Amino acid sequence: MELFTRYYMGDFLFRYMHIMAGIAWIGLLYYFNVVQVPALATYGDEGKARMLTLDKVARRALWWFRWASIVTLVTGLLITGIVKGYWTQPIAQNVTIGIGMIYGIIMVANVWMIIWKNQKIVLANAVNVLGGAVADPAAAGAGRKAFLASRQNFIFSFSLLWFMVGAAHFYGSAFGTATTSNAIILLIIALVLGAVLQINALGMIGGTSATNKLLWPYESHKNAMITGGVLWLVLWVASEILLT
What are 76-133's pLDDT values in tens digits?
A: 999 999 988 899 999 999 999 999 999 999 999 999 999 999 999 999 999 999 999 9
Average confidence (pLDDT) over 215-231: 98
Whether residue 1 is predicted with pLDDT greater than 80 in this model: the reply is no
Whether residue 177 is predicted with pLDDT greater than 80 in this model: the reply is yes
What pLDDT sits at residue 7?
79
Sorted by where each begins, the domain ranges of the chain are 2-242
Contact 183, 242 (CB under 8 A): yes
Average confidence (pLDDT) over 40-57: 87
Going by C-alpha positions, the residue among 73, 139, 59, 62 that lies closest to residue 102 is 73
Average confidence (pLDDT) over 177-188: 97
Residues whose CB falls within 8 Å of the CB of residue 226, separated by 6 or more in sequence, listed in order: 217
| Total Cβ atoms within 10 A of residue 51 | 21
Residues whose CB falls within 8 Å of the CB of residue 168, separated by 6 or more in sequence, listed in order: 93, 97
What percentage of residues in the chain have a pLDDT greater than 90?
88
* Reported confidence tier of residue 45, pLDDT bands at 50, 70, 90: low
Rounded-to-integer distance, Cα 25 and Cα 76, Å: 13
Average confidence (pLDDT) over 145-159: 98
